[in-house]
Chains A and B, each alone.
Chain A
């Protein structure tokens, strides 16, 4: 029985050589935008791809998706099987080399969130959004980015993956607070993982904080009033 991993690696290497020999296409830019739709997510993928010398475009495999091209004629979808891997490839009908592709699909229960592994002191109600992208195309993605939008009313608590503030950017995108992660040179098989902790603030907390802060302030102002008054009298 062949080890699946060994077969895949061999086949993949073969594909790589095959692609190189054919002056393989590449994906110049790959941008994913994940937006909420209730508990589900709508994922929009914009791909700027370069065809190989025979006019083939290689993209990652998707399930249940809608696809649009900016070409005059819609390219033909073909499948190639390499071992037990199946790739979607599109044949451009003209001498076009570069094509922009728009893909949309749904990801169920993405915004339901997973229980976040938290221990010790912390606010209550933290969940995690997890996202994993795997380049299951046979070509390199030169510039990859993913933007995950946070639904209204939910706080972006912190980033679990990537952890360092230098590796992600937080901004408002189309009215949503969003976190963007970029990677360059994603080879076939490479993965990008995101772990985003979110927090639904408890409305009671604001009142609790105000009460505690007010109590402490008034207590100390009252307790220290004698020393304050003595000092002012002595001025």
Chain B
């Protein structure tokens, strides 16, 4: 049954007034005096980013139009050089997305994807809740062994897409709620799981080292795990509840299809030769991602994450080994263009120092000397968590955020670790908007959710996490000696 999406009154207002509002934002920032601490290029990159953000959130223009317009506006206004703005299309994240779609197409054509999706559904998909929970659990488990958020997204993304398609959820039907739930919770679970395990992303290892160097103390892997995991688990549970409220699946999206899908799984029979080929390519790909630290040892050279994906994509096309031809890949170029424009707008902010300026300005206005610890903790963690809005790189954000907070703690007369370590637990909170993380761009390319869907779900989840961390500051962190 086709589900026609009808714009709610709020969506309608956003759609109608979004474009004029973005023009006002652009014209305003364009005409103000360049703030102290920023270059003219920084100001213009901020103007383009903010007006593009209004357009993306309001859906007032198609995303790819905004993306193309952003690239043009960045260069003409001097926000970024033309060479660098156009060069975003050569960034690893874009190629990773291309490769991910090829891998997905290969898995789909072989029938292996259908088998994997039907297996998951027959075991766990008796209800949408169980299915979502199992995808979240899978994200958490692989975070222990795959030390890259992007690699984990590349692994889970094809599964999410194919499970959604197995349920017959077509995005052109107006983004069925189950499709939104699966992709958005998959994306958020990726970020939240990362926060529990310090080795799940290099920016967290960097933060841990910076805190140790500053305080002279030691933070072990288990210190981080014990401090972060309870908050992460509680947040993921809360995220599930909120997700089902925001994107309530209608009863006929999943329930009626389960029995039919279970019968289909039983009919599949033994794996075919084509499926074995797809298993081999996918298994080697995942193994190369998971064992990236050992490449030099095994092969005598390093293979980056994106190159592994490109090699896998190439393997799917090679005669006798692969199973695809180009016409079967179905790469959504509108989403590629959107990703490039999005990333260009966000990266220009970083390169022009706007992100550091925004964070520094915010902290300098706080007036920390007279604050109670609880209020200081609450404000610092809130800023730390939401500072991801102006950074596209966790590493750059860590290099700016952690030293700032360590110095702030000294100025406020509190132990630096009591603010810096909980702030470090928020490094992976990069889930509100597409440009902030390659994971977001990968899941966004599924087409199952809009920027507004991601934004509102992301903000709510992070506010809930902030609340849970506030509770932890009185309980868990005191017990562990952090606060």
User: Which A residues lie at the B interface, using CB under 8 A?
Assistant: 119-123, 126, 155-159, 165-166, 170-172, 177, 199, 206, 209-210, 213-214, 216-217, 220-221, 224, 227-228, 231, 235
Chain A nearest Cβ from B87, distance in angstroms: 12
* One of A120, A121, A158, A210 near B40 (C-beta < 8 A): A158
Question: Which residues of B in the span 23-39 have a Cβ within 8 Å of any Cβ on A?
Answer: 23-24, 26-27, 30-31, 34, 36-39
* One of A155, A158, A210 near B27 (C-beta < 8 A): A210
Contact assessment for A155 and B31 in the assembled complex, using a CB-CB cutoff below 8 Å: no
The segment out of B70-78, B215-223, B242-250 that lies at the interface is B70-78
Q: State in angstroms the CA–CA spacing of A158 and B44 once bound together.
A: 11
Q: State in angstroms the CA–CA spacing of A126 and B81 once bound together.
A: 13
For residue A122, which residues in chain B have a CB less than 8 angstroms away from its CB? 75-76, 78, 81-82
Q: A155-B34, A224-B16, A231-B12 are in contact. Are A213 and B40 (CB under 8 A)?
A: no
Contact assessment for A158 and B41 in the assembled complex, using a CB-CB cutoff below 8 Å: yes
The segment out of B269-277, B351-359, B424-432 that lies at the interface is B351-359
Residue of B24, B34, B39, B81 with most partner-chain A CB within 10 A: B39
B7 at the interface (CB under 8 A from A): yes
Contact assessment for A171 and B37 in the assembled complex, using a CB-CB cutoff below 8 Å: yes
Contact assessment for B34 and A217 in the assembled complex, using a CB-CB cutoff below 8 Å: no
Residue of A166, A210, A213, A220 with most partner-chain B CB within 10 A: A213
Contact assessment for B34 and A156 in the assembled complex, using a CB-CB cutoff below 8 Å: yes
Contact assessment for B7 and A231 in the assembled complex, using a CB-CB cutoff below 8 Å: yes
Residue of A159, A206, A220 with most partner-chain B CB within 10 A: A220
* One of A199, A213, A214 near B78 (C-beta < 8 A): A199
Contact assessment for B75 and A170 in the assembled complex, using a CB-CB cutoff below 8 Å: no
Contact assessment for B36 and A170 in the assembled complex, using a CB-CB cutoff below 8 Å: yes
Chain A nearest Cβ from B138, distance in angstroms: 38
B168 at the interface (CB under 8 A from A): no
Contact assessment for B26 and A121 in the assembled complex, using a CB-CB cutoff below 8 Å: no
Contact assessment for B16 and A177 in the assembled complex, using a CB-CB cutoff below 8 Å: no
For residue A159, which residues in chain B have a CB less than 8 angstroms away from its CB? 39
Chain B residue with Cβ nearest A231? B12
Q: A170-B39, A199-B40, A228-B12 are in contact. Are A216 and B23 (CB under 8 A)?
A: yes
Residue of A158, A159, A209, A216 with most partner-chain B CB within 10 A: A158
Question: Which residues of B in the span 9-61 have a Cβ within 8 Å of any Cβ on A?
Answer: 9, 12, 15-16, 19-20, 23-24, 26-27, 30-31, 34, 36-42, 60
Q: What are the 4 tightest A-B residue pairs by CB atom distance, in nearest-first order?
A: A165-B353, A217-B20, A120-B82, A213-B23
For residue B78, which residues in chain A have a CB less than 8 angstroms away from its CB? 122-123, 126, 157-158, 199
Chain B residue with Cβ nearest A157? B40
For residue A120, which residues in chain B have a CB less than 8 angstroms away from its CB? 75, 81-83
24 CB contacts below 8 A, A to B, read A120-B75, A120-B81, A122-B78, A122-B81, A122-B82, A123-B76, A123-B78, A156-B39, A157-B39, A157-B40, A157-B78, A158-B41, A165-B353, A170-B36, A170-B38, A170-B39, A177-B34, A177-B36, A199-B78, A206-B31, A209-B27, A213-B26, A217-B24, A221-B16
Contact assessment for B9 and A235 in the assembled complex, using a CB-CB cutoff below 8 Å: yes
Chain A nearest Cβ from B21, distance in angstroms: 9
User: Which B residues lie at the A interface, using CB under 8 A?
Assistant: 7, 9, 12, 15-16, 19-20, 23-24, 26-27, 30-31, 34, 36-42, 60, 72, 75-78, 81-83, 351-353, 356, 399
For residue B38, which residues in chain A have a CB less than 8 angstroms away from its CB? 170
- Interface SS of A by simple majority: mixed
For residue B42, which residues in chain A have a CB less than 8 angstroms away from its CB? 158
Q: State in angstroms the CA–CA spacing of A170 and B82 once bound together.
A: 24
A-B contact count (CB 8 A): 86
Q: State in angstroms the CA–CA spacing of A177 and B35 once bound together.
A: 10
For residue A221, which residues in chain B have a CB less than 8 angstroms away from its CB? 16, 20
Chain B residue with Cβ nearest A224? B16
Contact assessment for B23 and A158 in the assembled complex, using a CB-CB cutoff below 8 Å: no
Chain B residue with Cβ nearest A172? B36
Contact assessment for B19 and A217 in the assembled complex, using a CB-CB cutoff below 8 Å: yes
For residue B356, which residues in chain A have a CB less than 8 angstroms away from its CB? 165-166
Chain A nearest Cβ from B357, distance in angstroms: 8
Chain B nearest Cβ from A209, distance in angstroms: 5
Contact assessment for A220 and B34 in the assembled complex, using a CB-CB cutoff below 8 Å: no
Q: State in angstroms the CA–CA spacing of A171 and B31 once bound together.
A: 20
For residue A166, which residues in chain B have a CB less than 8 angstroms away from its CB? 356, 399
Q: State in angstroms the CA–CA spacing of A217 and B23 once bound together.
A: 7
For residue A210, which residues in chain B have a CB less than 8 angstroms away from its CB? 27, 31
Q: A120-B75, A156-B40, A170-B39 are in contact. Are A220 and B9 (CB under 8 A)?
A: no
Chain B residue with Cβ nearest A122? B78
Contact assessment for A220 and B19 in the assembled complex, using a CB-CB cutoff below 8 Å: yes
For residue B20, which residues in chain A have a CB less than 8 angstroms away from its CB? 217, 220-221
Contact assessment for A155 and B40 in the assembled complex, using a CB-CB cutoff below 8 Å: yes
Chain A nearest Cβ from B52, distance in angstroms: 14
Q: A165-B353, A171-B36, A216-B23 are in contact. Are A157 and B31 (CB under 8 A)?
A: no
* One of A156, A171, A231 near B9 (C-beta < 8 A): A231
Chain A nearest Cβ from B444, distance in angstroms: 25
For residue A155, which residues in chain B have a CB less than 8 angstroms away from its CB? 34, 39-40
Q: State in angstroms the CA–CA spacing of A120 and B76 once bound together.
A: 9
Chain A nearest Cβ from B185, distance in angstroms: 31
Residue of A210, A216, A224, A231 with most partner-chain B CB within 10 A: A231
For residue B30, which residues in chain A have a CB less than 8 angstroms away from its CB? 206, 209
Q: A121-B76, A199-B78, A235-B9 are in contact. Are A157 and B41 (CB under 8 A)?
A: yes
Q: State in angstroms the CA–CA spacing of A172 and B9 once bound together.
A: 47
Q: State in angstroms the CA–CA spacing of A159 and B78 once bound together.
A: 12
Contact assessment for B37 and A170 in the assembled complex, using a CB-CB cutoff below 8 Å: yes
Chain B residue with Cβ nearest A211? B27
For residue B399, which residues in chain A have a CB less than 8 angstroms away from its CB? 166
Residue of A155, A171, A206, A227 with most partner-chain B CB within 10 A: A155
Q: A120-B81, A231-B9 are in contact. Are A158 and B352 (CB under 8 A)?
A: yes
Q: State in angstroms the CA–CA spacing of A170 and B353 once bound together.
A: 10
Chain B nearest Cβ from A152, distance in angstroms: 11
* One of A123, A170, A214, A228 near B77 (C-beta < 8 A): A123
Chain B nearest Cβ from A229, distance in angstroms: 10
Known contacts A126-B78, A165-B353, A171-B37; 9 additional CB pairs below 8 A are A122-B82, A157-B40, A165-B352, A170-B353, A213-B24, A214-B23, A217-B23, A224-B16, A231-B9
